[in-house]
Structures are given as C-alpha cells and as structure tokens.
Structure 1
Amino acid sequence: MASSNASSDAKSDAAALMDQAQTLLREQFGLADFREGQRDVISRLLNDKNTAAVFPTGGGKSLCYQLPSQLFDGTTVVVSPLIALMKDQCDALAERGIAAARLDSTLSSDEFRAAMKGIRDGSIKMLYVSPERFFNERFLASIGSLNVSLFAIDEAHCISQWGHNFRPDYLKLAILADKINAKRILALTATATPSVLEDIRDVFQIAKEDAIRTPFYRPNLQIRSRVLDRTEHYSQLMAAIRERPAGCTLIYVSRQKTAEEIAEQLTNDGFAATAYHAGMDPETRHRVQQEFIASPNGIVVATIAFGMGIDKSDIRYVYHFNPPKSLESYAQEIGRAGRDGEDSICEMFLVPDDRIVLENFTYGETPARQAIGKFIDLLSGQADHFHISHYKLSAETDIRILVVKTLLTYLELEGYLQATSPRYDSYKVKPLVESRSILNQFKGEPREFIAAVLGCLTKGRTWFTLNMTVACKRLGAERERIVKAMDYLAERGWVEMKVSDLVHGYRWQKRIDDPKLLGDDLFDRMAQREASEVARLDDVFGLAQAAQCQADTLSSHFGDTMAEPCGRCSNCIGDGPYELNQTSTRSIGTSARDAVDDITRRFPDHFTTARDRARFLCGLSSPAFVRARITREGSYGVCDGIPFADVVRQLEQ
C-alpha cells in the first residue's frame, strides 16, 4: 500500500511540475505552447526517465533542457561540441533573465571564476561544457561535488562509431554521467538513422518508448538539385541568385580556397558576398557571423565550419555549390533554412567530378598499416599504468589526431585499455596577492597544506612553475587534492593559473599478445570506416539524381515515412531524374611521376608505399608531412582532381 501511495505521489509531483513548465514556457520563454515532441520529452524528464530527442534541425531541441533546468534543484550540464552554440545560447538565455554559464577555451580567468562561483552558489543552474572538458582534471575536480540534476548531450549521434560524425570522446560520456551521479540523461540529435539511435539508446540506457522522434520533413523547405557540367557550374549559381527574390543566403563549398574564390566572384558580379572558413582567425569568423545574423539579405560562402548553432530564423536559401559528405550533413545544413516557417529553397548544384575531392578527403584519414603497427609497438612498451600525449602519439606514428583517439577507443572497447584520469604535465601559477594574505584565510591543517603547496612553486620571470609529480612526492599527497587546492585559490582570485601539456591516462586490462593480428584487425576497421564514408556519397548523389521524391528519400534515410510525395522537390515538379555521367580515368602524367620520384629521394622515410606517394600527389596531409614541411612543396596536390584509388593504382604499375 505504501508503495502504491509513493507511486501516486510521484505522478502527482510530475504533473505539478508539468503545470509549472507550461507557465514557465509562457512567462519566461515567451512561447504560447510547446512544439511537437517537446512536451513528450520534458514530461519524461520530469518523471526521472533517461530520454532521447530526435528532432530535425530547427525543431526546438534546446528548449527540452533549458526549460527543465529551471525546475530541477541541481545543475543542468549540457555537453556540446560547438563553442558558438554555447555562447549564443547563454546570451539568448540572459536576455530572458535566465543565468547560464559556459566553460570553454575562450574564457578568461575572471570569467571562469565567475562561472564556477555562480554554479556553486546556485544562481546559475545551467552549465555548457565541451566534451573535451570532461577529460580535464581541473574541471573534474571542480564539478565533483555538484548535484547534477540533468546531463544533456547535444549532437548525440557522435556516440555511434558507425555514424557520420563519430567522436571517440562521446563514447566515454556515459561512464562520466555515472561518475558525476547525474540524476537523468537527455540525448539530443537531428541526424540519427535508426541504427545510430539504437546505439544512443544502448549507451545511455534509454528505453525504446522514451526515444521521441518527430517527423523529419519540413513542408516549407523546397529541396532541389541540378546536375551540371563544370563549365556552367558558377553561372547557374549566379543565375539562381539573380532570378530569385533577395534573401539571406548560405552557399556551402568543400574547400577554403573555393569559399574565397566564389565570394570574390559573386561580389565582382554585383552580389556582395563574404567567405567563411576554419582557416580564418576567430575574430574575423565572429564578425562574419554577426554581420550575417544582422543582415536581411546577406550572402555567406562557407565550408561546413559555418552554421552550427547559428540562431537565425530567416535564411531563405541554402545552396550546395559542392556536395555534402553525407545525407546527415546535408540534413543539418539545409535545416538552417526557413526556421521562421516561411518558404525556403535548398538547392544542390552537383558537378559529378566533385565526388573526387570528397572521396580523397576520406582516404586521407586512413592510416597506413605500417603506421598502425608502430602505434601498437609504442603502446605495448608502456607500463601497466601510463600517461601519454595524443599529439605526441600522432606525431610519432604519422596518424592524424582524431584517428589516434579512435584507435585508442577501439582498444578500450576490446578490453585492452581502460582510460584513467587525464592530467596536465605543466602548471603555471601567477600570485595575485601576497602569500601571507592567502594563508591568513586558513587555519590548522588546511593552512599547513596550502603553505606546503605554495612552497613547491619554482619562481620564473613572471610565472611560477608547479611540478605536480615532485609536489605529490614531497607532500605525500594525492594529486587530486593539490589540483583542488590550486583551483580553490584560482576561484577566489588569489592566483592566476595556466595549464598545458595534456596527457591521457590509461591502465592495461590485458596485454597485447599478438601485435600483428591486432594491427590487421585495426587496419581492417579503419578500411571499413573508409568504405562506409565513401558509400555515404552514393546516398548524396542518389538524392541529387531526383529519381523519386527527394523529401521522401531524406525522410526514409532517417527512419521516417511520408504519406505522399512532397509535391515541391525537383522530382515532384518534373525536373528529375538526372543522369550522372561517369568520370573517365585520367593519367597522372610524367611530370607528376617525376615530382613524386624527386620527393621520395629527398624524404625516403616518408614514402615507403604507393599510398604514401598518392597522398602527396592528391594533397592529403599527415602529421609527418606537416612536420617535414612537405605540404609546402610546389608539386604537393598536383593530382587533387584525380581519384585517390586511381593514383595509387597508377603508381603501383
């Protein structure tokens, strides 16, 4: 009977909270009612259930954690890989009178202190954090005592190693959610296929009925495509811009150089356009974003670096001058159009040869079998418990940093390694007040401990150095206690602290008994990922052919069904289907062969296989290429218009 009463009380409490949520929605967020799916997600969270929200881009995912955060007693921690999104959402919440903080690499020491103070005293109930922060010993020491009422993971599709944007750090978030005793979990994404959603549910222990998916199709988006010859590529884009009513326009391209060229060309032709890409300095990127957000009809030509988390509702056109790398990417990018509900056009100008560039990007990620062997050898030589720099591992094996992280994650999943706490090898400290003033704030043993820690500082010109290994031995103290002590001093504004040289900790669960067999297995896995990424381009090019309703094609990819064709896409208005001409095999030519022979003579250690030489000719960098400045050679990338596989084949002949 008591159990029945408790259950009844819990339901009554959740219903009361839902009433409060409705009031909060109206009074604090200025909205009359919930969008589709939002009420279902929020009510599950209020009933203490782990929940997944799969809403299309612009479908209102952020409200699903922002609103409940104001009803829960503790802190809502939001994990997001997007610094721009964190800042924009914090600013937007502040305008509504809701305090939120973010912890990212752009914060000053004062901003970090203010954020942590607000979280601790309860005046700030929402904290945005990047995934990498959770592998930061300073951060873990800071939040260890927090009451985490909700742990929200944005871009949760990154959890799936077979998804379109796998990020190894995401796989460890479930362990960390448990470590910080999160009361409930919310996984959010716009681009989960059925298999990726299953991965998300498995990792975060979400029941099938608690995974809320709303319809993918947005009727106000008109999906269009054209298959073009290279000679008419730019002219067709310009004609579309000229013939249609002016409106905010995003043009996506594959390369930074293309972004700059197209922006310049459009501007010369009378359409003021601005380039945006990751190669620009942060201040310039921020300025371009803000100008675009404020403009009623601005044009930005951008790589995929642009758009994530941009809060602009009136984008009328999204053009893909170059194709996206997957339907998931395409869905995210066109999802930025028409968030105000007004008609918007999303058009792809497909030149079949553009597939070469995208495929070559994918091939550039796959390490050589020899590099994987060296990776295994370096790890095998480590002690039972060890710390290692991912960047040094990348440099020593010539494997890109993200791939290094992926390989380490595979070793964890296979039970070879277990990740332990990361740490910084270098701590720099600058006192802002006299030591006496600091010590006067403490009494007894804490005072003695702080005095001993300060006594371990080695003076430099401006900054003191704290060698953590030496300090732990000298004081006979746990590293975590010293880190917490220094963070406490920094939070109070008594010292300023800088950390560097991040190293990640691991513990061997079982040793590698057959390095060759494991190396073959890891290489096969990477080859499978390579094949999977290339196959995603088949889906993109299939959509562009418009052989059937394009809205239905997209919806089906994400596990949704449409009752009838959209009536507005290229296929439905009678423009499709298009033919895709087969690209003919081109010879790399004698000059390219001479160039690669020359570079091989000069850097024999970097070019032991045909694949190494093909990377050079196709312009695919690697840590070793960058370090040896091989990417600055005049002939680097001379074959970037030829499929990587064709270049390898010709070099092997």
Structure 2
Amino acid sequence: MTLAESELAAEARQILRDRFGLEEFRSGQAAVIERLLAGKNVAAVFPTGGGKSLCYQLPSQMLSGTTVVVSPLIALMKDQCDALAARGIRAARLDSSLTEQEFRDAMRGIRDGSIRLLYVAPERFFNERFLASVGSLDVSLFAIDEAHCISQWGHNFRPDYLKLAELAGTLNADRILALTATATPAVLEDIRKAFAIERDDAIRTPFHRSNLHLKSTVVTAADHYETLRHRIESRPRGATLVYVSKQKTAEMIAEQLSDDGITATAYHAGMDAETRATIQQDFLASDDGIIVATIAFGMGIDKANIRYVYHYSPPKSLEAYAQEIGRAGRDGGQSVCELLLLPEDRVVLENFTYGDTPSRHSVGRMIDFCHGQPDEFFVSHYKLSFETDIRILVVRTLLTYLELDGYLQATSPRYDSYKIHPLVTSRAILNNFDGERREFLAGLLGQLTKARKWFSLNTVTAAKALGQDRQRIVKAIDFMAAQNWIEVNVSDLVHGYRWKRRLEHPKVIADQYFEKVVSREQSEVSRLEDVFAIASASNCQSRRLAEHFGEAMDEACGVCSHCLGEGPHTIPPISHREIGDGVRRALAEVCRQYPDHFATARQRTRFLCGLSSPQMIRSRLSRHASFGVCEQIPFADVLRQVEQISPEL
C-alpha cells in the first residue's frame, strides 16, 4: 500500500468512527472501499444484512463529486436517507413518490454540493428531464444495488439493468460499484463483464451464517395452518415474518392468528402507502411483532432482531429464499427459518412462471411491428404490450434482445405529453428575457392548450410548429419549473430506437426469441425444483444453500432439519388431473365470445389457469367466472388437454 493509499484508508476509518458511529469495518467492507478509493470498479457480494450500503455511503463522504446509487427499493432509499440525516449526512432520493417540489429541492442540493449522495430508482433514467438534469454532474461513484438483475441467469432479471453499464459511460462515472446478496458464480461473471470489473476486484464474503437454523416440514392442506400456529405458540416469543404468495392469503392467515389469540398484521402491495408505512414502523419498533406478508415486505427493511422467518408458501427460487431468510438474526442472535411445505403449492407457483411466456404468434407480431418501423422511431412499451398481448416485462426483454444482438440501438426516451400548471402569468415569465430567448418562450407558451386547471403541450407538435429542436423545449420547461414559475406533469412515455442493421429474416428471429423465452420459462421452473430439493432435507440444508452460491462448507451446519435427524422428508408427487366437461363447455363459450383472444392453445390454457395477459385485462376477461378454474392443475397438464380440444366444441 502506497503512502497515499494508507492515508486514504486512515481517513476512511476516521469517518467510520466519527460519522457512522462504528469502530470496525465488517467483513469485506474495507476491501471494497479501499479499491473504490483507488479508482477501481468493484463488485460486492455480501449476504443479506452484510453491510453493503456502507460501501458507497462512506466513500460518498470522501469523493469530490456525486455518488449516484441506483436501487429499485423505494423503502430502502427512504430508510437510508432518514438514517443518514440522523447522522448529519445529507442524501436525496429520486423516485416516483416525490412531488415536483421535492424533486427540485433534491436537484438544487446536488448542484450546490450540499448533497453528495443521490439515490435513484431505475425508472428515473427513462425520464429525459432527469437525464438532462444529471448529465452535467460530476459522478465520482456509480453504485448499482441488486446488481444480479442485470443477469439473464439471475432470479430477478430486469432488462433495463442491462443498460446501466452504458449509462455509467454516458454519465462519465469515475468508478462503478455493483452490489448484490444473491449472485451465483454465473451471475457474478455476468456482472463483472457488464461493468468491466477485474476478477480480483469482485469481493465475496462468506454466505453461510451459523446463527440461522434452517428447518423444513412437509404439511398437508388440513394441518398447514395448525402447524404454523403451533410453531409460533411453542417457541419463545420474538419478531416474526410469515411469508405467503398471495395478498388474500396474508389477510386470511393474519386474521386466523389474531382470532386464535396471536396478534398478527397482514402486509401486501395492495395496501395504500400510508398503511404500509405504519405497519413497517410498528414492526421495526416491536420486539415480538408478527407480520404475515407477501414478498412486498422486507426489501430494504433493516431490523436486526427478527427471530423467526416462516415460509407458509414456498419461495420461487433459492435466491428469493436466501434474501428472505437473510432478514433474520442480523444482530447475530440465534434465529429459526422454517419452510412449511405444502406440495400442492408447487402447481400455483409453476403456473405463475408460465404466465409470462407469450405465444409464438405474439412474438411474431412484435418482431413484425419492429421490422416495419423507419430507421429511427419511438414506441410506447405499454401500447406495444397491449397490441401484441405480451406482458410488459417480456416486451422489454425482447427489445433488449434486439439491442444485444446488434439490431437496435436505444436512443433517449421521451414524454410526448406535458401538463403544465402556471404559477405566475406569462408576462411575469417573459419579463425575465429579451431578444430571441423571449421570442422563443413566447412561442412555446403560445403552444399550450387550455384545460380546466392544467394546460397541455405536445412537445413533438410544438417542436415542429416552432422549428426548434425538441430538446430545447424540454430544457425550457425544466428551467421554468426550477424557477417555480410552473408545475409540470408528464405522460405518454415513448422509447426511442434506431436500426443498426435491419432484420433479414424476421420469422427466423421470432422463432429464436420465442425459444429464448420458453427456455427462460423452463429455467424458472427448475429454480422451483431447487427449492423443493432443499426442503426435502436429504442433506445439510445450509451446505446445499451455500454451494448454490459458490461457497464450499468444510462441515455440516449441525442445526438444520437434516443435521438434527428430522429429514429426509418425502414430498409426494402432484397427481395428474383431467379437466371436466363443465370446463370444456365454458372454454368453448368464451372462445366463441372472444375469438381474437384465444387463437392459440397457450392463450386458452392461460385463461383456464388464471394467468392474465394485457388483452385479457383490457377485455375484463380476468374477471370472467371461468377465469382460473384450473389454477390447481399444472399448466403443462392443462395445455396438453387443451391442445386436444377444438375451441368450437
């Protein structure tokens, strides 16, 4: 270590004590921070609760420019900003929950240097006003939380994340930090390649935590709830999370527990933001509170003394399982993580996976649409989703495939429609300018169309009418908003693309991409197989989980169900079921009523299994009495039988 590096390391430790109130770095933190301060790109793979956030929070106080943290977790951003404020460290967050005034205040603090740490939700990078605002920033560190989302081998692939590496270049970021708790070796390799991280600069800390006691019990439908109730009553009281897969299940189980004298609260994404925030705060303050929640709860929640995590419904992958049990025992205390496995739950979870896979016909329609576009074009992902009957995430994935394969290049997205509410008169605005600028703004304000409270502005139309570059119009609107002269709401987001090379054989590409989405479907199903395998307790469960993430354990944990002699468990196979005549008649009827929505056997199967599509939702077919009548039958079984049925029968 050079003298300069030694001095930086000493300064980092001083800040750790003075600003963060900590005496020592946790495992891996010092190695990550030292590399960042040396200007290197770094990956940090720490288990849930392993202290990833300090790896960018502390350097943000030492680097000269702005630290930009990309995170999909709004709760994490809010909690971390609040916690930093309590330590006298100013940080700002930019997400969809902010008002226009809050956005302006945050950007003002970033520009004047009083705020050096900026949390940004990924969708903000689709906002050209935001990109225009941050484009001039000196970005010293670009940190990507949940970096496993960049990998198609990851359990939570988000195609938008593939563009973050390009964005880091656009922002001229001095260094990059990629953070995740759930990277398998293949996923870490994808992260390294995307962000140009050397192998020695990928810091992985031990995955296994000896204070987490992994348990599993195979239950029947008759004793499922009673087993959970008995576990809670028979063990010492402590903060408890119960994970379920559906919102209605969360409410039902919380109500049953409360009726049985065990106070419990439901939590799910269907609740309003204020209610969710209240439930979270009450739980954080409690030593023995019980939350029955969907996976909407826990992301970014930092509670050290959770003693129990019960999976009433199985997680969809070992990555999800690791994240959810990782919320227990962050204080180092002994904690129990038990999976109450109802084998029949496999059907519903597998069927969810099949719901994202479009038909070959829909993939072909989307490729044909793109093929017919001019050299440069804009498209709404949501409109494309509806017109092709492909879920929005899959639409984005297919467009990303076209980018990765060198056919398309994404250009700046834009909002075509702006709604503007004047806070001062046009004369008061124009009095601040003269000459050409005054003439330009007068023309721009003249393009506003009056509604009740808001004026509307189509920026494309305005640009043509004024003979101006559209970007100048957007910057002018942003400037007027920053001066508190107007309020702005934007809508009609469209994404820009240009062809790098044209599709010579669209049908071949459609076939290839359909095979890709089917392959991903099978990959997701196999992830569920891994969950059932660990639940069987046929070997040390902690060792099996650690090996999945590339870590070898020298010896068995000694405290899991297998090590205590409670396994292996026998998991009965799902019996095949035939669909009845009533279902056949209902299917024939709905096909006659909506022939355009049921052109393929896969579309008909999705309807029977309760798996909606954009056109089904728009046509309210997801509310049809027969929607989901086969949700307890495996998708593959229903598809096999539907393929043998003529829709006219």
Shift in Å, 1:443:
5.1
1:105-504 counterparts in 2 under 5 A?
105-442=96-433, 444-504=435-495
Kindly indicate whether residue 99 of structure 2 is the aligned counterpart of residue 97 of structure 1: no
Distance in structure 2 (CA, Å) of the matches to 1:13 and 1:395: 57
Classify the secondary structure of the residue corresponding to 2:105. helix
Aligned partner of 2:530 in structure 1 is: 539
Question: Any conservation in 2 of the 1:78–1:151 contact (CA below 8 Å)?
Answer: yes
Classify the secondary structure of the residue corresponding to 1:231. coil
Shift in Å, 1:380:
1.6
Aligned partner of 1:87 in structure 2 is: 78
1:598-617 counterparts in 2 under 5 A?
598-617=589-608
Shift in Å, 1:448:
4.1
Once the two structures are superposed, what CA deviation does each residue of 1:310-360 show, in whole Å capped at 9, x if it has no partner? 121111110001110000000000001111111111000011111111100
Shift in Å, 1:435:
2.7
Query: Which sits farther off after the overlay, 49-58 or 464-473?
Result: 464-473
Classify the secondary structure of the residue corresponding to 1:77. strand
Query: Which sits farther off after the overlay, 302-311 or 53-62?
Result: 302-311
Question: Any conservation in 2 of the 1:371–1:397 contact (CA below 8 Å)?
Answer: yes
Kindly indicate whether residue 24 of structure 2 is the aligned counterpart of residue 33 of structure 1: yes
Shift in Å, 1:13:
3.0
Once the two structures are superposed, what CA deviation does each residue of 1:501-542 show, in whole Å capped at 9, x if it has no partner? 100000011122212111110110001000000001111111
1:372–1:29 Cα change, 3 Å: same
Kindly indicate whether residue 43 of structure 2 is the aligned counterpart of residue 52 of structure 1: yes
Distance in structure 1 (CA, Å) of the matches to 2:585 and 2:274: 42
Query: Which of 518, 521, 546 matches 1:527?
Result: 518
Shift in Å, 1:445:
4.5
Shift in Å, 1:281:
2.2
Question: Any conservation in 2 of the 1:141–1:480 contact (CA below 8 Å)?
Answer: no
Shift in Å, 1:137:
0.5
Paired amino acid for 1:509:
K
Distance in structure 1 (CA, Å) of the matches to 2:131 and 2:176: 18
Question: Any conservation in 2 of the 1:160–1:199 contact (CA below 8 Å)?
Answer: yes
Kindly indicate whether residue 626 of structure 2 is the aligned counterpart of residue 650 of structure 1: no
Once the two structures are superposed, what CA deviation does each residue of 1:273-304 show, in whole Å capped at 9, x if it has no partner? 11112222222222222222122211111111
Kindly indicate whether residue 582 of structure 2 is the aligned counterpart of residue 591 of structure 1: yes
Distance in structure 1 (CA, Å) of the matches to 2:82 and 2:36: 25
Distance in structure 2 (CA, Å) of the matches to 1:226 and 1:566: 18
Distance in structure 1 (CA, Å) of the matches to 2:570 and 2:451: 68
Query: Which sits farther off after the overlay, 189-198 or 455-464?
Result: 455-464
Paired amino acid for 1:573:
L
Shift in Å, 1:457:
2.4
Query: Which sits farther off after the overlay, 623-632 or 479-488?
Result: 479-488
Distance in structure 1 (CA, Å) of the matches to 2:140 and 2:65: 5
Classify the secondary structure of the residue corresponding to 1:191. coil
Shift in Å, 1:69:
0.3
Distance in structure 1 (CA, Å) of the matches to 2:595 and 2:451: 43
Distance in structure 2 (CA, Å) of the matches to 1:281 and 1:77: 29
Aligned residue pairs: how many? 644
Kindly indicate whether residue 498 of structure 2 is the aligned counterpart of residue 507 of structure 1: yes
Classify the secondary structure of the residue corresponding to 1:230. coil
Distance in structure 1 (CA, Å) of the matches to 2:484 and 2:302: 34
Query: Which sits farther off after the overlay, 267-276 or 193-202?
Result: 267-276
Paired amino acid for 1:113:
R
Distance in structure 2 (CA, Å) of the matches to 1:274 and 1:173: 38
Query: Which sits farther off after the overlay, 431-440 or 155-164?
Result: 431-440
Query: Which sits farther off after the overlay, 370-379 or 141-150?
Result: 370-379
TM-score by length of 1: 0.97
Shift in Å, 1:476:
3.0
1:14–1:464 Cα change, 3 Å: farther
Paired amino acid for 2:296:
A
Question: Any conservation in 2 of the 1:323–1:354 contact (CA below 8 Å)?
Answer: yes
Query: Which of 614, 623, 637 matches 2:628?
Result: 637
Distance in structure 2 (CA, Å) of the matches to 1:12 and 1:82: 39
Distance in structure 2 (CA, Å) of the matches to 1:201 and 1:476: 45
Paired amino acid for 1:539:
D
Classify the secondary structure of the residue corresponding to 2:227. helix
Distance in structure 1 (CA, Å) of the matches to 2:569 and 2:133: 57
Shift in Å, 1:609:
2.1
Kindly indicate whether residue 570 of structure 2 is the aligned counterpart of residue 579 of structure 1: yes
Aligned partner of 1:4 in structure 2 is: none
Classify the secondary structure of the residue corresponding to 2:315. coil
Query: Which of 616, 622, 628 matches 2:619?
Result: 628
Distance in structure 2 (CA, Å) of the matches to 1:507 and 1:460: 35
Distance in structure 1 (CA, Å) of the matches to 2:262 and 2:589: 45
Classify the secondary structure of the residue corresponding to 1:92. helix
Once the two structures are superposed, what CA deviation does each residue of 1:525-573 show, in whole Å capped at 9, x if it has no partner? 0010000000011111111011111111111000111121111111111
Any unmatched runs of 5+ in structure 1?
1-7
Question: Any conservation in 2 of the 1:44–1:210 contact (CA below 8 Å)?
Answer: yes
Any unmatched runs of 5+ in structure 2?
645-649
Classify the secondary structure of the residue corresponding to 1:418. strand
Aligned partner of 2:647 in structure 1 is: none
Aligned partner of 1:5 in structure 2 is: none
RMSD: 1.3
Between the two proteins, what is the percent identity of the paired residues? Answer: 66
Distance in structure 2 (CA, Å) of the matches to 1:97 and 1:437: 39
Distance in structure 2 (CA, Å) of the matches to 1:397 and 1:200: 31
Aligned partner of 1:3 in structure 2 is: none
Classify the secondary structure of the residue corresponding to 2:155. coil
1:562–1:513 Cα change, 3 Å: same
Classify the secondary structure of the residue corresponding to 2:160. helix
Shift in Å, 1:118:
0.2
Shift in Å, 1:227:
1.3
Question: Any conservation in 2 of the 1:116–1:491 contact (CA below 8 Å)?
Answer: no
